[in-house]
Chain A
C-alpha cells in the first residue's frame, strides 16, 4: 500500500541524535512538571493536567523515538487505529458507568 518512494524515505530517513537529545530533555522536563503539578491543588484540573502531560510525553516518544513522524501514511494510520479502538473501549464502557447513577456522582 505504501508508495515505493515513500517507503524508501521512511526506511532511509535517519533521525539525528540531536533530535533524540531534545526529546529526551523534553521528557525530563515534563516529568518534573507532572510531579510538581501533583503537589498543587487544582481541583478538577489535576487529573486533566496529569493526563495531558502524559499524552504529550507519549506523543513525542511515538513521533520521534518511534520515528512515526518520518514514517509512511500506513504507519500513521495504524497508530491512529490503535488509539481510536483504545478510546472506544474506554469511552463506551465509561458511558455505561457514568450514566448508571445519573446525577449522583
Chain B
C-alpha cells in the first residue's frame, strides 16, 4: 500500500484562503474539494457494492431454480414478450448513454446540455416503467402472478395460450407446470426490485433537473451528477443481466 496519505498539503497553510479554495459546498471536515469529491465517489462505489450483494441473493435463487426446473423456466419465459423486453433494453441502454453525456455536460459546464440530457434520461426511464406496467398488466390478466389465483392453464394447455402456441410449447407435466410459479416469483421479485430502484432514480432525476436548471452542477461541483450517474449505470447493468436471464432462456423452436 502506498505511503501517501490524505490530501492536505500541510496543516499550516496560510490563514488567508482564497475564495476558490473554500467554496460554500466544501464541508468543514474535509481539507479541500478534491478530498471531498474523492470521498463521495468512493462512498458511492461502496454503496453500489451493497446493491450488488443485494441483487446477488436473487440471482443465486434464480440460478438454482433454473437448473432444477429448466422446462418450467423455458415455458414460463415464453410468456414474456420479447418485443417489449428488447425495447426496454434499448430504452435503458439509451438512458445510460444520455446519463453519461449528462455527466460530460456537467464536467464541461454546459448547463443547457446537462438539462437536456437529464430530461432525456428521465423520459427514457419513464418509458421503461411504462412498458413494465404494460407487461405486468398482461401478467395479472393472465393470472401469472404467484399467490393471486395463479393459473397453470397456459402450461398445461399451451394451445390455449397465444404466446405459448407461438413458441411451439408442448404441454408440461403437472408438477413441472407448478414450478412455473417459482419462475414468476423470481420474475416479479427481480424486476420489481429493479423497478423500485428505477423509481427512486427517476425521482432523484426530477430533483436534479430542477437543480441543474438553477446551475448547481455546472459551476465546477459535479459530484452529485457523477455519483448519480454511477447509480443509474448500475441499475442499467442489473437489467443487462435480467434481460437474457428472464426473457431469452430459449427462444429456439424445439426446447
Give the B-binding residues of A (Cβ under 8 A): 1-4, 7-8, 11, 14-17, 20-21, 23-24, 27-28, 31, 34-35, 37-41, 46-47, 50-51, 53-54, 57-58, 61-62, 64-66, 74-75, 78-79, 81-83, 85-86, 89-90, 93-94, 97, 105
B138 located at the interface, meaning its Cβ lies under 8 Å from any Cβ of chain A in the complex: no
Smallest beta-carbon distance A79→chain B, Å: 7
Q: Max chain B CB contacts within 10 Å: which of A23, A37, A82, A85? A: A82
Chain A residues contacting B196 (CB-CB under 8 Å) are none
Chain B residues contacting A105 (CB-CB under 8 Å) are 67
Q: Is the CB of A66 within 8 A of B230?
A: yes
SS class, residues of chain B in contact with chain A: helix
Q: Is the CB of A38 within 8 A of B248?
A: yes
> Do A54 and B254 form a contact, CB below 8 Å, given A20-B97, A89-B57, A90-B60?
no
Q: Is the CB of A4 within 8 A of B250?
A: no
Contact flags (1/0) for B53-92 with A, using CB distance below 8 Å? Answer: 1001101100110011000000000000010001001100
Binds A, one of B141-149, B174-182, B238-246: B238-246
Q: Is the CB of A20 within 8 A of B245?
A: no
Q: Is the CB of B38 within 8 A of A7?
A: yes
Q: Is the CB of B241 within 8 A of A94?
A: no
Count class of interface residues, chain B: 35 or more
Chain A residues contacting B60 (CB-CB under 8 Å) are 89-90, 93-94
Binds A, one of B19-27, B99-107, B121-129: B99-107
Chain A residues contacting B46 (CB-CB under 8 Å) are 78
Q: Which of A16, A31, A62 contacts B93 (CB 8 A)?
A: A31
B42 located at the interface, meaning its Cβ lies under 8 Å from any Cβ of chain A in the complex: yes
Chain B residues contacting A31 (CB-CB under 8 Å) are 86, 89-90, 93, 243
Q: Among residues 183 to 199 in chain B, which have CB atoms less than 8 Å away from a CB atom of chain A?
A: none
Q: Is the CB of B53 within 8 A of A75?
A: no
Smallest beta-carbon distance B239→chain A, Å: 10
Chain A residues contacting B108 (CB-CB under 8 Å) are 14
Smallest beta-carbon distance A67→chain B, Å: 8
A-B contact sample (9 more), CB < 8 A, given A57-B240, A97-B68: A17-B104, A24-B93, A40-B252, A41-B252, A54-B245, A58-B237, A65-B236, A78-B42, A78-B45
> Do A86 and B56 form a contact, CB below 8 Å, given A11-B38, A39-B252, A93-B64?
yes
> Do A86 and B52 form a contact, CB below 8 Å, given A14-B107, A20-B104, A28-B93?
yes
Q: Is the CB of A65 within 8 A of B100?
A: yes
Interchain CA distance A64-B104 in the complex, whole Å: 12
Interchain CA distance A1-B241 in the complex, whole Å: 33
Give the A-binding residues of B (Cβ under 8 A): 1-2, 4, 7, 34, 37-38, 41-42, 45-46, 48-49, 52-53, 56-57, 59-60, 63-64, 67-68, 82, 86, 89-90, 93-94, 96-97, 99-101, 104, 107-108, 229-230, 233-234, 236-237, 240-241, 243-245, 248-254
Closest partner residue, chain A, to B248 (CB atom): A38
Smallest beta-carbon distance B89→chain A, Å: 5
A-B contact pairs, 17 of them (CB 8 A): A3-B2, A4-B4, A4-B7, A11-B34, A15-B104, A20-B100, A20-B101, A24-B96, A27-B97, A41-B253, A46-B250, A62-B237, A66-B230, A82-B52, A90-B63, A93-B60, A93-B64
Smallest beta-carbon distance A46→chain B, Å: 6
